[in-house]
């Protein structure tokens, strides 16, 4: 979903949840921006952690190579 559309959707939901009070459009929009940005940041962090788990640990990998060399001698 486009970030602008997502912010608009969240702002509308905030407006409805507050009892459809007029004159709070800017406050609702800014709160929606904060919520959407936070969700994107959490998603990005989660993806980074997933990528880190997929990468082999260089030290462990290096240790395995060293052990193999010692055994073959």
Task: Please give the pLDDT value at position 65.
Answer: 56
| Closest C-alpha to 6, from 38, 30, 33 | 33
Q: How far apart are the first and last CA of the chain?
A: 58
Q: From first to last of its 73 residues, what are the pLDDT tens digits of the chain? A: 899 999 999 999 999 999 999 999 999 999 999 999 999 999 999 999 888 877 766 655 555 655 555 555 5
Q: Is-contact 30 7, C-beta < 8 A?
A: no
Q: Which two tokens stand for residue 22?
A: 């007029």
Radius of gyration of the chain (CA): 24
Distance CA 41, CA 23 (A): 29
């Amino acid at each position: 979903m486009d970030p602008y559309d997502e912010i608009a959707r969240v702002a509308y939901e905030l407006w409805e949840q507050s009892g459809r009070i007029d004159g709070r459009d800017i406050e609702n929009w800014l709160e929606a921006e904060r919520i959407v940005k936070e969700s994107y940041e959490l998603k990005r962090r989660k993806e980074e952690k997933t990528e880190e788990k997929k990468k082999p640990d260089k030290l462990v990998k290096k240790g395995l190579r060293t052990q193999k060399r010692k055994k073959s001698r």
